Amino acid sequence: MQPTSEPGLPEALHRFPKTVYTEFQKGYDESSKRLAPDQVEAWAKAGVEIAEHSFRSWESATEYFRASPLVLPKLNFEQLMLWAQWGRSLAATSPIVSSAFFRATPEVLDRIPPETIGQWAGLGKGLYRSTWKSSSLAATFFESSPKLLQSVSLFEMEELVVFIDALAQKSYDLAAECLVLADSVFTKVDRADRKAFLGLASALARNNWRDVKPYFEHAPRAIYRVEKSQRPRYLALADRLARVSGVNVVTFLNESADALAEISPEDHAEMLGLAEQLAGAAPTAVGEFLRGLPTVLDRVRGEQLVQWFDEGLRLLKENEDGGMAFFRLESGRSEQLLEALSHGINLERVKEVLTMYCRALAGQDVELQATEILKERKIGWNSAEEATTEGSNIYLPVFIDRYNSKAENFSWFKVISTHQVAHLEFGSFAFSFDRPSAVYAGREQRHTRAPIVEGRHAISDLQRFFDSFTDRRLASDIFTLVEDGRIDHRVTVEYRGIAPAYRRVQGEAVAGRPAPNTLPLREAAMELLVRLSLEEVSPLAVPKAIALQLDAIKQVMRVMQSPLATIEDTAEATIRLYEVISRLPNVLQPDPEDQEQQGMEQESNEPDMEQLEKMLQDLMAQMSQGAGQPDGEQQKYESPQKIEFRGEFKPELVQALEQLRDKQKKGQGELDTKGVSPQDLKQMLEQSVELDLTDGQEGDLDQMAAAFVDNLMNQVSQEQQQRSGQGDHFPHVPDDDAPLSAKEPQAYLYDEWDFRATDYKPRWCRVRERRMEEGSTDFFENTLRTYSGLVSKIKKQFEMLAPESMRKIKHLPDGDEYDFDLVVESIIEKLAGDTPTDKVYWRRNKVERDVAVAFLLDMSASTAEAVDESRRQPDSGDFPDDPRDYMAWLRNRREEMSRRSYKRIIDIEKESTVLLITALEAIGDHYGIYGFSGYGRENVEFYVIKDLAERFGDSVKKRLDKITPMHATRMGPAIRHAVAKLDRQDARTKLLFLLSDGRPQDRGYSREGVEKEYAVHDTRKALIEARQKRITPFCLTVDRSGHDYLKTMCADMGYEVVTDIHSLPSRLPQLYRRLTV
């Protein structure tokens, strides 16, 4: 067929660019094959009509013709015409849209049925709003359709268009962007959730359209983390929140989904139920609630959770800020309630009690710490859950929730810490190779055993001991069991009170253990040893093949129950048990039925050592002959299942650490022949079975051992530093709301008062106490010289205070003694007939000074300002909130300061302190001088210049020298820490003297960074707390504008604003005198 046979049409096309005709021809060829001539004509005509429609619609026509060959196979004639019609009507709106429509059609038809093509086209058309931007959006719609339809049904697409349309009313660009994103987003959202997902998107488009894109990006991932059946509900909840102002849905989705992902999917329904309930009352709190859930659920569940929740709900109605803080878990009430409702126990809560308990039992300065800390040090302890000790401190898991009552959980804590303390108390780590054993005295075998590798230098006695065993793991397992058994027995005998709790835990430990007759023989023997060490007495089915061995094991263990038994006896017992057990083949008992019930009770009478040794020898002889031992396939020996309450026991490592500590103490010599060299240490680590080096990458054994050596060495030198009070850490900035911990020594946590919520934020600030560095005594001496006149004046004044207390008071009606002059006078009066006076006594005035005072010096950066007005630099007193900016700012400041030649506020503060010290020394009051500064709530630095109990001396003078402006002023925690110190003092009058140069301020020491009152209120609260402890606070400031906030801060407490800072040195002692007399 020739196109010329329809002369009118091609003719008309020649008016357009050539491509139109070319495409027509291609289409014509194809359509002539498929359609009747009249139909072809209609087809062609439709194309021409499109092309002629408007100025640029020939482009659409081109696309029409181009797409036709591809479309033809999929559509019947009517549909084809309909398609063309749609195209034409789209071309009427915009040729671009129409072109896009035609272009997309072939692919789209692969996805949707041909009869729905109109529907699809209609969707695109619907987006057109006769503007240029809308046309581009519609075009985008068509362009992205093929891809989109891969994941979306046409029906869903309708929904999407509704949303896009809504969004387009706000921003076309965004709408277009979302259209493009849509396909990748939809593949991530389950079919069932798409409606809700889009519904929420539309809601966002209406209310917070800017959130839409982040929503598109983040929501799918969030939704995916929620349990499947709960997703619609979750989205509905988010939808509900989206309609409320003040809730950022994207943040909500991200955070709440993260939180939900952390809790078990089974709980999602219940938690969302609560969240829905909360949404009705306070939509803004829902996010906080869900975010805190993982923490909350760790502690309370079910009934208790609802109780906690209801309380929060109640609080929300009363005080919104309070309720929010409650759900944010930043309120004391919330914390207390959780604590009361929860069965579990946090180490943090019982740390103090248990620390003292352990110290009492151990008789040494043990610290209690979380096991995580030890794990983080990477010195060989790998478990964060098991209790353990490294010879000086005790490490416990942070949270215990094994039982359904607090009492039982505490009892568990007590048992596991007692077990660890017992290692220290009963000398598990004191093994000495040469010290004689106690019960095996005279029968020691360890001296005669040959080491497996000759001539190796052993770091510790234990290493030397273990060096004589071929199967180190087996020896170590036996040693651990025997020693743990010895320790536990000693505890239950020595400490009768804890015995019941111990027995219970031991019983529970037995309950989950494998039956010996199901194990290969060697492991079965070990299992029996486990049970004996747990003092399990109920009869047990034992493989017949090891009945004899069991008897021997029993007797050896019986010996270890002697109250005399020491760690050296453990070693001897280990040798004997090893000889027996290692001779057992690790094969399964051929006939599982071949077993007998064996009683496990120990005989009550004292064992006869002679007999025991003989019996062991006989048994060994018998075993060496292989009598009665079953054959079978040797299995790899597996250590017995762990016994949880005993935690980890690593005596070899502990001894190595001890050696290092010794060495550190003796001197800093890097290498010495007698001590521990890194090589020795490394060798030991590689040998020891206590260190699971194989845990990591294979082959890197060498490297890992080296790393451990480094860590161990570091550990010891750090300990050393801590002991000498050095070691500086620069502030690190945690996430804003992350809970703090005070795991390191000399760190203390304090609550902070949130005046909006009228509640404390529990454990919100961390105070690090440290000694001030020592400088020279020059500052002190110079000050005394400069102010020599004032010094002697003050001294005199104060000395006069003291003798006042000893003055004699005469003319008293009763007292210590007669005043003889008065007595004589009285007698004379009497003889003369007068009424004699009866006031003939004297007594000493008994006013006694019993004062303890803590001075708190503000060491904030602003104290670096010049005292002299003319030199004062403009300084806002504010500093950058961002830690990085802050550091830069700080560096500048420090440089400036080093160039200074003028007197700063802090210098005056220091001078005043010097004068005060002389005064206080004259009068003999107890006093402490402290400085504080810090940056952020996790780094409140508290410098000790002179502790209350410390005596005044050169080192105090030297420390005074080093007082220098530091960072910010977070007064609350510093005050609380000083108050805690004063509270431990035993004095009649207690004073807290706060010397500052401005209002309290710090990073995050305000709500949303704006409310200065927050800091003031917290400080005020801290001062009130002081008063409740019968400590009189007094604030002295050199800030002239101090009146405004001091009025709030110290409303009914003493304060003074020193307007002329130069008067401070004389004013301070004066004030002090007035306060304490």
Please tell me the distance from the alpha carbon of residue 253 to that of residue 249, in angstroms, as a whole number. 6
For the CB of residue 208, give the shortest distance to another protein in the complex, in Å: 51
Of 17, 113, 500, 745, the residue at the interface with another protein (CB under 8 A) is 500
| CB 846, min distance to another protein, A | 8
Q: Which residues on neighbouring strands pair with residue 777, listed in sequence order?
A: none
> Residue from 40, 167, 354, 475 that binds another protein (CB under 8 A)?
354
Alpha carbon distances (Å) from 77 to 39, 191, 557: 7, 34, 97
Closest CA to 250 of 208, 199, 291, 196: 208
Under the binding rule (CB under 8 A), the answer on residue 495 touching another protein is: yes
Considering beta carbons, is residue 414 or 554 the nearer one to another protein? 414
360 binds another protein (CB under 8 A): yes
Pair of tokens at residue 979: 């108050």
User: SS3 for 729?
Assistant: coil
- Give the interface segment with another protein, choosing from 28-36, 304-312, 750-758, 813-821 (CB under 8 A): 813-821
Give the angle subtended at the CA of 537 by the CAs of 533 and 540, to the nearest 5°: 100
Task: Choose which of 181, 499, 887, 1053 interacts with another protein (CB under 8 A).
Answer: 499
Task: Using the rule CB under 8 A, give the single segment among 109-117, 347-355, 557-565, 602-610 that binds another protein.
Answer: 347-355
Nearer to another protein, 36 or 353 (CB): 353
CB of 828 to another protein, least distance (A): 11
Q: Are 112 and 154 in contact (CB under 8 A)?
A: yes
901-924 burial, b for 16+ CB within 10 Å, e for fewer?
Answer: eeebbbbbbbbbbbbbbbbbebbe
Query: Which CB sits closer to another protein, 970 or 981?
Result: 981
Closer of 355 and 369 to another protein (Cβ): 355
Site for another protein in 935-964 (CB under 8 A): 951
CA dihedral (382, 384, 388, 394) in degrees, to 10, reads 120
The DSSP letter of residue 5 is G
* Number of residues engaging another protein in binding (CB under 8 A): 33
Cα–Cα nearest to 327, from 277, 399, 262: 277
Question: Whole-angstrom Cα distance, residue 657 to residue 676?
Answer: 10
Scanning 86-94, 163-171, 353-361, 515-523 for contacts with another protein by CB under 8 A, the matching segment is 353-361
Q: Which helix (H) or strand (E) holds 988?
A: none
Name the residue nearer to another protein (CB basis): 351 or 937: 351
For 245-264, give one letter per residue: b (16+ CB within 10 A) or e. eebebbebbbbbbebbbebe
Which of these segments, 197-205, 489-497, 682-690, 703-711, binds another protein (CB under 8 A)? 489-497
Are the beta carbons of 179 and 144 closer than 8 angstroms? Answer: yes
- Which among 45-53, 534-542, 740-748, 820-828 is the span making contact with another protein, rule CB under 8 A? 820-828
From the CB of 335, what's the least distance to another protein, in Å?
A: 18
| Segment interacting with another protein (CB under 8 A) among 496-504, 769-777, 963-971, 1003-1011 | 496-504
Task: Say whether residue 827 binds another protein (CB under 8 A).
Answer: yes
Cα separation, 876 vs 721, in Å, equals 38
For 442, the token pair is 């005279």
Determine if 818 is a binding residue for another protein (CB under 8 A). yes
Q: How far apart are CA 697 and CA 862, in angstroms?
A: 53
Q: How far is the CB of 458 from another protein (least distance, A)?
A: 33
Contact between 132 and another protein (CB under 8 A)?
no
Closest approach of Cβ 353 to another protein, in Å? 5
Among 36, 340, 356, 847, binds another protein (CB under 8 A): 356
Q: Which helix (H) or strand (E) holds 931?
A: strand 926-934
| Options 105, 418, 574, 598; binder of another protein; rule CB under 8 A | 418
Nearest approach, Cβ of residue 836 and another protein (Å): 11
Query: Would you say 46 or 501 has its CB closer to another protein?
Result: 501
The residue from 66, 125, 225, 414 that contacts another protein (CB under 8 A) is 414
Cα 507 to the center of its chain, rounded Å: 34
Residue 271 C-beta: closest distance to another protein, Å: 36
Task: State the Rg of the chain over Cα.
Answer: 43
- Return phi, psi of residue 1033, to 5°: -90, 150
Encoded tokens for 824: 């004589």
Which is nearer to another protein, 988 or 1040 (by Cβ)? 988
Which residues within the stretch 366-405 sit at the binding site for another protein (CB under 8 A)? none
Residue 399 or 952 having the CB closest to another protein: 952
Closer of 501 and 525 to another protein (Cβ): 501
Window 55 to 84, contacts with another protein (CB under 8 A): none
Query: Going by C-beta distance under 8 Å and a sequence separation of 6 or more, which residues neighbour residue 83?
Result: 71, 75, 105, 117, 121
Residues in the chain: 1077
- How many C-beta atoms lie closer than 10 Å to residue 360's C-beta? 10
Interface with another protein by CB under 8 A: which range of 24-32, 106-114, 211-219, 817-825? 817-825
Positions in the binding site for another protein (CB under 8 A):
352-357, 359-365, 414, 418, 494-500, 816-818, 820, 823, 827, 844, 846, 924, 926, 951
